[in-house]
Structure 1
């Protein structure tokens, strides 16, 4: 879906003042424009795809200009057809902006937030909507705060595992397809496609609405992904890490996150294994590594035993 000014207005609770035709304008740039040099008459590097944010400083500067100069410079900006011009709470919108907004079909928008906070909110919103995305076939579950992406071939039991985890009080983010974007370096955010939100498909049962079945607390819209658990059918002769000392990694964009492979066999409680993997990874983030503690303890005992033998 294309991001239009009307979507921004709805999501952030902004008010349209003029240029209502401009509500259909498409927003393509993540960055904002604070028109300082543009209001001074320099437009050589003006990016017409950016939203324009006007706060108290820009407003004060405009009021220092002669009326004819101010009109000409504002009109020169409007002629570039930016998607919208957003005014912060402390700025009074002049009739000139209303007139030119309607003339050039540029949405003139008012916020009830101060400039600095508004700039931060707008940037975060635009980045979340416009950042490059990738989609993964899997299930994303919030397990006690650990965003856990469960992957594996079709029929391996990903959705069934997620359903069991939800029954235990954990939270569904997305089933079947997980959309991922990099909010910042090292921060991957996962969400469900709009049409799949709060639904999970379980073979033999069908579509389950987790909110209706388990309550509103069983679903959340987004979650930071901190662990990938891949389910695969047990392969005879294949080496599986039994200690967990070496951590596998998987990369999305420029961010690497930990990955664990769990072999699936009849009789194994996969939901318990996934839950345990998430909790174990959480302990590692908190500074405790059980495998490392064990191997160090074994090494210390082995050294003591060797010294005792040498003394004998």
Structure 2
């Protein structure tokens, strides 16, 4: 965003609590009853032109009134001249005064996107997140079930690691969950019997990326005799994180089963569903059509 701090460093200590921005139109007109001091104030060309219409003392008083509300910061776009008294107000009231080299509209969009990503609701899940053919796939299950071993095999096949052991998730937008690794765990994967593996050093820079939208959860569990497992894929399960439903598939683990291939196939199958093709429904339709034809042939015999 090319922000330059004009006030002192102490002014940066205020906490930003809101992703929304305040464009102080009515506030510069003297109406501050509904001013939200949790928001960063953004002043662009329109506000600047309005301020220039005011008497010098009135302009100074109204800008000071905004600083007295102690917002987290006041940011000016590229086309706005920042007068010395504004910087002084920033120092007096400990409000960060910043100047950008970007025009108001793109600056507003970038600020909102950044604040939303940093202030969005967050949670952590025990699991492994991978990018499998473009599908953000999170593998979950009890400790020792084989999540990391499966992930290592998938990385070896050319898929991409986002996070191992702990996945930090935030809601980037309604219906959009993005997962990433804690800073200390980036690029690393732990495999029992081997230890810590740096996937970038072992498989190259393309084996790791910082974050990925989560579109599928694959839960690994020990096979239970007598438990019903979906064999056709018609039954749709999901898991709710925040207010977003994510498709979920449960894969029973047995000795001899190639779990990496199963997870890879599950991700590809889910991708086909997003593209509008459902193999289970196609098979069901084909069987129903065949059965309908057989009944018609039987009726013709009579």
Under a length normalisation based on structure 1, what TM-score does the superposition of the two structures give?
Answer: 0.94
Of 73, 76, 88, the residue aligned with 1:87 is 76
Q: Which runs of 4+ in 1 moved over 3 A?
A: none
Q: How many residues end up aligned between the 2 structures?
A: 301
String of CA shifts for 1:158-191, please: whole Å, max 9, x gaps: 1111111111111111111111122222111111
Aligned to 2:242: 253
Of 85, 93, 106, the residue aligned with 1:104 is 93
CA contact (8 A) 2:2 2:102 kept: no
Please give the residue correspondences for 1:124-203 in structure 2 after superposition, counting only pairs within 5 Å.
124-203=113-192
| Structure 1: distance between partners of 2:173 and 2:48 | 32
Q: CA 1:13–1:222 in structure 2 vs 1: closer, same or farther (change >3 Å)? A: farther
- Are residues 1:67 and 2:56 paired? yes
Q: How well do the aligned residues superpose, as a CA RMSD in angstroms?
A: 1.1
Aligned to 2:15: 26
Aligned to 1:44: 33
- Are residues 1:217 and 2:206 paired? yes
Q: CA 1:45–1:19 in structure 2 vs 1: closer, same or farther (change >3 Å)? A: farther
Aligned to 1:6: none
| Structure 2: distance between partners of 1:242 and 1:109 | 59
| Structure 2: distance between partners of 1:171 and 1:14 | 33
CA contact (8 A) 1:14 1:109 kept: yes
Please give the residue correspondences for 1:258-297 in structure 2 after superposition, counting only pairs within 5 Å.
258-297=247-286
Deviation for aligned residue 1:291:
0.7
Aligned to 1:234: 223
Deviation for aligned residue 1:25:
2.0
Gaps of 5+ in 1: 1-11
CA contact (8 A) 1:20 1:105 kept: no
Aligned to 2:110: 121
| Structure 2: distance between partners of 1:24 and 1:168 | 47
Deviation for aligned residue 1:24:
2.3
| Structure 2: distance between partners of 1:41 and 1:123 | 26
CA contact (8 A) 1:188 1:255 kept: yes
| Structure 2: distance between partners of 1:180 and 1:13 | 28
CA contact (8 A) 1:19 1:103 kept: no
| Structure 1: distance between partners of 2:95 and 2:268 | 51
Deviation for aligned residue 1:88:
1.1
CA contact (8 A) 2:129 2:137 kept: yes
CA contact (8 A) 1:20 1:102 kept: no
CA contact (8 A) 1:134 1:179 kept: yes
SS at match of 1:38: helix
Aligned to 1:243: 232
SS at match of 2:149: helix
Aligned to 1:7: none
String of CA shifts for 1:51-101, please: whole Å, max 9, x gaps: 111110111111111111111111111122211111112212111211211
- Are residues 1:305 and 2:290 paired? no
Of 30, 42, 54, the residue aligned with 2:43 is 54
Gaps of 5+ in 2: none
CA contact (8 A) 1:19 1:106 kept: no
